Amino acid sequence: MKVITRRSARTVIGLLASLAIIAAVAGPAIASHVDVSVTNVGEVAVGETVAIPVALRTTNGTPLAGTVVTFYLHMAFAGVEGEAQIGRVVTDASGVASLAYRPRLAGHHELRMEYVAAGGTDIESTTTVIEVTGGAQLYHSPAGVDVPGVGVELLMVVLATVWTILFWVVLRIVAIARAGGEAGDAGLEARR
């Protein structure tokens, strides 16, 4: 009888320990109580500003006003890849947050929006994709040297002065070298 009781006690203790471990690892189930709708923007040209609206509502349809929505863009720069924050917008009275976004590169742009549901502590997110076409350069630099506040005439005078001094120094070095060579020849003849 003692053997059966011991086995039963071990089995029950083992099952309880397993359940405790599973409950500790799994944690509480998190259910989102927010309905999110992101309007599909479609295709956009490089440099064109587009609004990306996100509407947040509770499951019963009430708009979530005053919720901060953070927008992230997946990108790569100098061998580093990750998400960069491109803006934060607070939802209005109708629960809509809209970010004005101006893509600077053509291609597939994946945006992620993060928000914290009202009364919640966990960050929830949703994503959208924008296809950007075109290859126009957004910045065009003017030709030539542009020094603010300085006219071209003053710049030319400074450059001419610098080159004149440099040329004069070269002539002085050549004159010193010639004079040193003649004096050295005279000294050798005197020793003979």
pLDDT tens digits for range 30-84: 445 667 777 777 788 888 888 888 888 887 878 888 888 898 988 877 888 888 8
pTM of the model: 0.54
What lies within 8 Å, CB to CB, of 40 at 6+ separation is: 128
CA torsion through residues 104, 127, 100, 132, sign: positive
Averaged pLDDT, 3-17:
64
Q: How far apart are CA 30 and CA 117, in angstroms?
A: 12
- The per-residue pLDDT for 189 is 65
pLDDT tens digits for range 137-192: 666 677 776 666 667 788 888 999 999 999 999 999 998 888 876 666 666 666 66
Tally of CB atoms within 10 A around 101: 20
Q: How far apart are CA 94 and CA 57, in angstroms?
A: 9
